[in-house]
Structure 1
Amino acid sequence: MEGAISKPPYTRRIAVVTGGNKGIGLEVCRQLASDGVTVVLTARDEKRGADAVEKLKALGLCDILFHQLEITDSSSIAALADFLKTRFGRLDILVNNAAVSGVEHVQEVDTNEEKFNGMDLNQRLEWVLKNIRDTVDGAKKSIQTNYYGTKHVIDTLLPLLQSSNGGRIANVTSAYGLLRRINNEEIRQELDDIENLTEERLDELLGKFLKDFEADALEMHGWPVGLAAYKVAKAAMNAYSRILARRNRALRINCVHPGYVKTDMSMSSGVLTPEEGARSVVNVALLPDGGPTGAYFAMGQEASFV
């Protein structure tokens, strides 16, 4: 309409961080906001998410907003996309941090971190594996959340990232998602053959994993055990990230392992602080134009998916 006043474009970069209310996610939000990025902190629980935003604002970081997000709920993801489109018209950075372990604790966890004094990294990992139990329901939840939930978030927000002049996706992964964790050579090769791997084939492989899990046949078919579904879901998301990077050359789409961090998921057995782990994630989220895409970063260095 003639004489209408147009809304000026939003000039600051906009980032969405999933699972942003605690641990690595909260620290990613803090560091991005400190770097001058407008951060949309998301979490399943509205109170915890809103409290996290207030905690960051108390540090003097004002350009942070909260939006509820349950990554396994398509309506929740759609609501976030509508909010971003209406408020900003685009998205510059997506950090997919939300995840579940998909396991049960075999006993009440001792929260005293002093028990880890004198333990090296491998001993700490062994302690965790002795104190958890894989379950069928947990495995299904892990695959549904860590792979399909994250994938649905990416697919829904992709048009907004494509509207950015320099869209970035940083998928928080784990060394547990490396292909060496899978003993089945045929499956390893398929997951590494990015030129021929399809989303449909990934669905088939994940379906086969869950079928083998229910049949108590993981080792027989070369799947990992001990945090089995977490490892397979992360391996699948690594593969999907590489597929997506090939399709979207204008974006920077990468996977980043923050290291073994002291979080609820690691039962506080990690060797790094959330601040240290988040720095690796933020560095990948803020890669310069022309930087790597379809890559895996571990502890700040580009590395192999194998």
Structure 2
Amino acid sequence: MRTVLITGANKGVGFETARQLAQLGNFVFLGSRDIISGQQAADQLKAAGITNVAAIQIDVTDIDAIRKAKTVLDHQIGSLDLLINNAGIAGEQPQHMAECSMEIIRNLFETNYFGAVQTTQVMLPLLKRSSAPAIINVSSEVGSLTMHMAADRRPNWSNFSAYGASKTALNAFTVMLANELRGHNIMVNSVTPGYTATGLNQFKGTKTVAEGARAIVQLAMLTDSAVTGRFFNDSGELPW
């Protein structure tokens, strides 16, 4: 049984990913800023007969909270097989870069980029104790510079420019960390669930959470350490 930590797992794609991975036999820690919300999410799964889950409090913007979560995991399991950096915010829209407020941009980067980086750094010692460790960064198509430059770029993407920039930075972190950790056989990849109907977009997405979680779960179940430093959706590999 593999052990998995998912940040932002009390709702949306994170919660559905936890459900699907637990159903596949993994033990999943549902990370949540608010332990009450996290426990309610874990209890919901347990009520459905999915007992191999537990709630854990972790706020990715609070280094002390991350360290406390690491201590809890260290005491309970001693190692971690998979970290899924899922916690994220969308920020207020529109976010045209020519006029977007610095407060919105900073808030987006604080959670979507710095949060993932510092969570990964703190959890790395636990991952290095695993026989098949992996890190998945939940990104977005709007983080792909290649897709932004395409002639058929979606016209409304500029409404999410600051959010997209935070995901571009997350993708860069994926590539650089993957290269640094090749000697440790730690897989590091980015994945996008696609435009999924969650609170992140006021439930306007075109995919269900079950469909959105599919790409993350597919990547989570890979064990080939050669698959690293790449960007995926549920149909395959995407360009940076």
Out of 188, 192, 196, the position equivalent to 1:261 is: 196
1: CA distance, partners of 2:65 / 2:78:
18
Structure 1 residue 301 and structure 2 residue 236: aligned? yes
Structure 1 residue 237 and structure 2 residue 237: aligned? no
Q: How does 1:14-53 map to 2 (within 5 A)?
A: 14-53=3-42
Aligned pair count? 229
Q: Secondary structure at the match of 2:110?
A: helix
Cα RMSD (Å) of the superposition? 1.9
Q: Is the Cα contact below 8 Å between 2:95 and 2:161 reproduced in 1?
A: no
Structure 1 residue 285 and structure 2 residue 225: aligned? no
| Rg (Cα) greater in structure | 1
* CA deviation after TM superposition for structure 1 residue 181, in Å: 6.3
Q: Is the Cα contact below 8 Å between 1:134 and 1:226 reproduced in 2?
A: no
2: CA distance, partners of 1:65 / 1:37:
12
1:125 alignment counterpart? none
Q: Secondary structure at the match of 1:103?
A: coil
For 2:220, give the aligned amino acid: A
Q: Secondary structure at the match of 1:139?
A: helix
* CA deviation after TM superposition for structure 1 residue 162, in Å: 1.0
2: CA distance, partners of 1:57 / 1:19:
18
Out of 151, 163, 168, the position equivalent to 2:129 is: 163
* CA deviation after TM superposition for structure 1 residue 259, in Å: 1.2
1:179 alignment counterpart? 145
Task: Flag as ranges the 4+ runs of structure 1 deviating above 3 A.
Answer: 180-183
1:143 alignment counterpart? 109
For 1:172, give the aligned amino acid: V
> CA 1:148 to 1:129, structure 2 compared with 1: closer, same or farther past 3 Å?
closer
> CA 1:45 to 1:103, structure 2 compared with 1: closer, same or farther past 3 Å?
same
Q: Is the Cα contact below 8 Å between 1:134 and 1:227 reproduced in 2?
A: no
* CA deviation after TM superposition for structure 1 residue 289, in Å: 2.5
- Structure 2's unaligned 5+ residue stretches are 150-156
1: CA distance, partners of 2:208 / 2:79:
32
- Structure 1's unaligned 5+ residue stretches are 1-11, 105-127, 184-223
2: CA distance, partners of 1:153 / 1:86:
18
1:132-158 CA deviation, whole Å, 9 max, x = no partner? x94332211101111001100011101
Q: Is the Cα contact below 8 Å between 1:161 and 1:168 reproduced in 2?
A: yes
Out of 274, 293, 301, the position equivalent to 2:209 is: 274
Q: Is the Cα contact below 8 Å between 1:81 and 1:157 reproduced in 2?
A: yes
2: CA distance, partners of 1:70 / 1:27:
19
Out of 36, 42, 54, the position equivalent to 2:43 is: 54
* CA deviation after TM superposition for structure 1 residue 288, in Å: 2.2
* CA deviation after TM superposition for structure 1 residue 48, in Å: 1.1
1:220 alignment counterpart? none
Give the fraction of aligned pairs with identical amino acids, expressed as a percent. 35
1: CA distance, partners of 2:198 / 2:186:
30
> CA 1:228 to 1:261, structure 2 compared with 1: closer, same or farther past 3 Å?
same
For 1:284, give the aligned amino acid: L
> CA 1:290 to 1:78, structure 2 compared with 1: closer, same or farther past 3 Å?
closer
2:58 alignment counterpart? 69
